[in-house]
């Protein structure tokens, strides 16, 4: 039930508090104006006029204005009928109900805005018999329906009393209805008017009010009104209960949610919201996704949560971004592999020279994939010095097998959330870099390069290398769990290729999951071919010289490699060639031409004097100096071991930034020499009278490892015996106290370093012979290798 302040609206939008006539019985006999058989008809929207009730309306439709004006000039009577559908703007006779109320126009008021307001008082019910005119306004023949007088009926009187009580209760429970309304109810004595007055104010459906009006039996009308009032009372009580409970329980978040729901309802009334369109698009995208049951369930929960939210809430963007990630990830979307092994080999050979072991491994993988159709991808790890093409080889592999390529740099990574992602509740949370990469390239089986895996950091924020254990385990990565996604994702089809310079920098548990493939440095001959086939054409194109015909001959290129670079890879060589190209570009700009062939003199003019020289290794040194071979993470290198004796008490001093293992090798060599002094023709007392100083030049560079053992032994023996070490000779191997020579690693890099330095002979442990045989004979042409088992053999070969 709803009482409101008396304000005026158009007849199609009625919402008012009816005015009570001063004489309740005026409807029945106070006004004896006869009701004609034909009346103008006035359609009303959203309301029903009851006999005795006074309502104000603002007349807006043309037909209604004409009908009101015409009636006001004559008997001031008009037939009021309600519209069946309030949405019809221009109703016809079929849109109107057949039973209405004869109304008297009490007064017409001209409003300031030019409109007309009519105050109508309901007189008697009528039934529309026939429509006599539709223009300029509706007119029809009517039949007045007389009300039955009820006297001395206790049941009816009880119903009327109940109506008053129920109406009073509703007024008391409704905060928007003034309390004066209950006083008005108590003062209404006419039962018929009471039923009409309460029915008019009832907060119910239009058709329920119309049904009330259409009832001829006043008793039935009272019974129906009681049912409607009881229903209204229950609703008001429930509303009050919910409101009271809400007021006590609502916290800030619930209050915001309640207001947002109201705002959403308002927006729906105004024509919907743009967020709805986005949500519908998301649902449409989701239909095409090949999701697991868990992913489907999570999407449904998240989308339902999003529908309940408003875009201005803080959590909206969190849920939206999470759903967006789910939709953009390539769930079971794979590119088709190319199984043409010959073509794949051709692509690999074109992009990279050499590297036969890796190429064979990739072709084996493709062959198995071709036969089986499906298999878990291997987890490869390329280990080798910088600049030899480990990373670019990954891109070449992706091209050869027809997969997408993505590179993920691990160098300096120190937060495990970069791998697994952050929990989405954090501000600025993001998925891990693995899923970000897959989202970007739209494929679940790319070639993913994990670059510099040996340089992963570790601090208080976590250990990323431990997080990589799950990613790089073929038995686990089919259910990789990302903290942001909060779902398992299948990484088993991704071909992971890790690169590293030093395998010792990789955590042991992680190293165990990798298939290590060693990449060694390039020989001079390999560098020359790489320069002619790859580097030179690339630099010509970068410097705009591809149209000019000139060449660098093999001897000149070899001269550049040997005298201006000292590396395992080709990066420095690439930079030197870039310097030459810049100089030639300047010649073109100034002179308009360049020489057809570059000579050694031209190279010296452009690059300056040679930076490296091999002359130092070619001369016979003084006694106590031997040449060793070392392995560093940038490739092989040459080490001089210098030993000097001076009068003293037999103390030994080691300098040159040596590590603990290298110092122990020197101590082992000295102990062996002392225990075999007679055998070597040395006076044992000499060790007590001479101080020994062992120095390894380039003191700024840290050095460690056991491979300089035989070199230190040779240098000590040379210093004590006075015999010189052969020129052009280098050696590498670990020594024991028994005088045995043990094998060491990095043989290819060390031998290539000796070759670059112009050394002719190398002494190695006999067990390292297999490593030498893996090197292409053309790269070690002109070198002689001595394989030994004991220290005595080393001394016999090295000293003269």
What residues are paired with 96 via a beta bridge? 83
Strands, E assignment, 416-483: 447-451, 480-482
Pairwise CA distance, residues 728 & 627, whole Å: 9
CA nearest neighbour of 122 among 10, 58, 207, 27: 27
Pairwise CA distance, residues 693 & 642, whole Å: 8
Six token digits for residue 414: 């120190």
CB atoms within 10 A of CB 709: 29
Judged by DSSP in three states, 86 sits in: coil
Query: Is 707 among the residues known to form the active site?
Result: yes
Max Cα distance, the chain (Å)? 156
Q: Is the four-CA dihedral 298, 300, 301, 306 of positive or negative sign?
A: positive
CB atoms within 10 A of CB 621: 18
User: How far, in whole angstroms, is CA 291 from its chain's centroid?
Assistant: 17
CA nearest neighbour of 725 among 664, 609, 606, 641: 641
Judged by DSSP in three states, 303 sits in: helix
Pairwise CA distance, residues 495 & 500, whole Å: 17
Judged by DSSP in three states, 24 sits in: helix
The answer to whether the beta carbons of residues 210 and 82 sit under 8 Å apart is: yes
3-state helix, strand, coil in the chain (%, to 5): 45, 20, 35
Q: Which helix (H) or strand (E) holds 39?
A: strand 38-44
Judged by DSSP in three states, 374 sits in: coil
CA nearest neighbour of 565 among 614, 632, 506, 624: 614
Label each residue of 516-534 as H, E or C: EEECCCCCHHHHHHHHHHH
Six token digits for residue 523: 């020989």
CB atoms within 10 A of CB 265: 10
Strands, E assignment, 472-525: 480-482, 487-489, 495-500, 515-518
Six token digits for residue 577: 């060639």
Ramachandran quadrant class, 624 (left: phi over 0; alpha: psi -120 to 50; beta: rest) = left
Q: Is the peptide bond before 136 cis (omega within 30 degrees of 0)?
A: yes
Residue at token pair 């109201």: 262
The answer to whether the beta carbons of residues 16 and 9 sit under 8 Å apart is: yes
Pairwise CA distance, residues 479 & 381, whole Å: 22
* Helices 660-675/709-721 angle, 10° precision: 40
Catalytic residue among 63, 703, 750, 755: 750
The answer to whether the beta carbons of residues 176 and 167 sit under 8 Å apart is: no
Pairwise CA distance, residues 508 & 672, whole Å: 35
The answer to whether the beta carbons of residues 458 and 465 sit under 8 Å apart is: yes
Query: Is 601 among the residues known to form the active site?
Result: no
Pairwise CA distance, residues 344 & 529, whole Å: 21
Pairwise CA distance, residues 713 & 23, whole Å: 133
Pairwise CA distance, residues 348 & 362, whole Å: 10
Q: Which helix (H) or strand (E) holds 244?
A: helix 218-249
Pairwise CA distance, residues 550 & 368, whole Å: 45
Pairwise CA distance, residues 260 & 281, whole Å: 22
Pairwise CA distance, residues 63 & 65, whole Å: 6
Pairwise CA distance, residues 204 & 201, whole Å: 9
Catalytic residue among 707, 718, 748, 755: 707
State the catalytic residues: 707, 750
């Amino acid at each position: 039930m709803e009482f409101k302040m008396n304000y005026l609206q158009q007849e199609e939008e009625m919402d008012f508090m009816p005015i009570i006539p001063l004489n309740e019985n005026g409807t029945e006999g106070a006004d004896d104006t006869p009701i004609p058989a034909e009346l103008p008809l006035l359609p009303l929207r959203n309301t029903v006029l009851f006999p005795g009730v006074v309502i104000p309306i603002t007349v807006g439709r043309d037909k209604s204005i004409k009908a009101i004006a015409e009636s006001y000039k004559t008997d001031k009577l008009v037939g009021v009928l309600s519209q069946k559908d309030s949405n019809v703007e221009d109703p016809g006779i079929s849109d109107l109900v057949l039973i209405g109320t004869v109304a008297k126009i009490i007064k017409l008021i001209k409003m300031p805005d030019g409109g007309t307001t009519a105050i109508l008082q309901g007189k008697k019910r009528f039934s529309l018999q026939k429509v006599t005119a539709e223009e300029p306004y509706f007119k029809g023949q009517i039949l007045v329906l007389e009300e039955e007088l009820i006297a001395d009926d206790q049941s009816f009187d009880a119903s009327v009393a109940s109506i008053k009580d129920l109406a009073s209760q509703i007024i008391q429970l409704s905060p928007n209805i003034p309390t004066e309304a209950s006083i008005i109810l108590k003062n209404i004595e006419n039962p018929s008017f009471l039923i009409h007055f309460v029915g008019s104010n009832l907060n119910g459906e239009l058709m329920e009010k119309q049904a009330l009006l259409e009832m001829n039996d006043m008793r039935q009308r009272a019974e129906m009104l009681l049912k409607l009032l009881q229903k209204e009372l229950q609703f008001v009580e429930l509303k009050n209960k919910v409101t009271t409970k809400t007021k006590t329980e609502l916290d800030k978040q619930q209050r915001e949610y309640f207001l947002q729901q109201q705002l959403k309802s308002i927006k729906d009334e105004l024509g919907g919201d743009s967020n709805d369109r986005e949500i519908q698009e998301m649902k449409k995208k989701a239909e095409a996704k090949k999701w697991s049951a868990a992913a489907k369930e999570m999407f449904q929960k998240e989308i339902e949560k999003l529908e309940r939210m408003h875009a201005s809430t803080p959590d909206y963007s969190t849920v939206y971004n999470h759903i967006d990630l789910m939709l953009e990830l390539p769930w079971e979307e794979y590119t088709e592999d190319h199984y043409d092994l010959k073509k794949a080999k051709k692509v690999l050979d074109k992009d990279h020279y050499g590297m036969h072991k890796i190429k064979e491994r990739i072709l084996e993988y493709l062959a198995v994939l071709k036969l089986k159709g499906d298999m878990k991808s291997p987890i490869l790890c390329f280990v080798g010095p910088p600049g030899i093409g480990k990373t670019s080889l990954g891109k070449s592999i992706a091209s050869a097998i027809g997969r997408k390529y993505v590179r993920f740099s691990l160098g300096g990574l120190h937060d495990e959330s970069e791998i697994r992602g952050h929990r989405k509740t954090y501000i600025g949370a993001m998925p891990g870099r693995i899923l970000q990469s897959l989202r970007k390239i739209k494929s679940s089986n790319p070639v993913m390069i994990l670059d510099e895996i040996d340089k992963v950091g570790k601090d208080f924020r976590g250990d990323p290398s431990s997080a990589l254990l799950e990613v790089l385990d073929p038995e686990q990565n089919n259910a990789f769990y990302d903290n942001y996604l909060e779902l398992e994702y299948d990484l088993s089809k991704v071909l992971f290729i890790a690169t590293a310079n030093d395998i010792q920098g990789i955590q042991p548990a992680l190293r165990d999951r990798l298939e290590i493939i060693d990449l060694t440095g390039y020989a001079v001959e390999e560098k020359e071919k790489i320069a002619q086939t790859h580097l030179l054409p690339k630099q010509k194109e970068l410097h705009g010289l591809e149209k000019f015909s000139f060449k660098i001959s093999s001897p000149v290129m070899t001269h550049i490699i040997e005298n201006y670079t000292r590396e395992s890879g080709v990066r420095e060589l690439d930079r030197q060639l870039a310097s030459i190209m810049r100089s030639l570009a300047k010649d073109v700009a100034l002179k308009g031409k360049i020489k057809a062939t570059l000579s050694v003199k031209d190279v010296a003019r452009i690059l300056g004097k040679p930076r490296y020289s091999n002359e130092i290794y070619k001369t016979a040194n003084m006694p106590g100096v031997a040449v060793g071979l070392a392995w560093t993470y940038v490739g092989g290198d040459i080490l001089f071991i210098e030993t000097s004796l001076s009068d003293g008490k037999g103390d030994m001093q080691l300098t040159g930034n040596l590590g603990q293992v290298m110092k122990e090798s020197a101590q082992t060599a000295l102990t062996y020499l002392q225990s075999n002094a007679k055998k070597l023709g040395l006076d044992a007392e000499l060790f007590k009278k001479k101080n020994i100083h062992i120095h390894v030049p380039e003191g700024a560079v840290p050095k460690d490892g056991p491979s300089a053992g035989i070199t230190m032994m040779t240098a000590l023996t040379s210093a004590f015996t006075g015999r010189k070490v052969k020129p052009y000779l280098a050696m590498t191997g670990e020594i024991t106290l028994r005088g045995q020579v043990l094998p060491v690693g990095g043989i290819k890099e060390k031998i290539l370093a000796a070759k670059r330095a112009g050394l002719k002979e190398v002494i190695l442990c006999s067990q390292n012979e297999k490593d030498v045989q893996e090197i292409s004979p053309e790269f070690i042409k002109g070198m002689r290798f001595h394989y030994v088992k004991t220290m005595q053999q080393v001394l016999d070969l090295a000293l003269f």
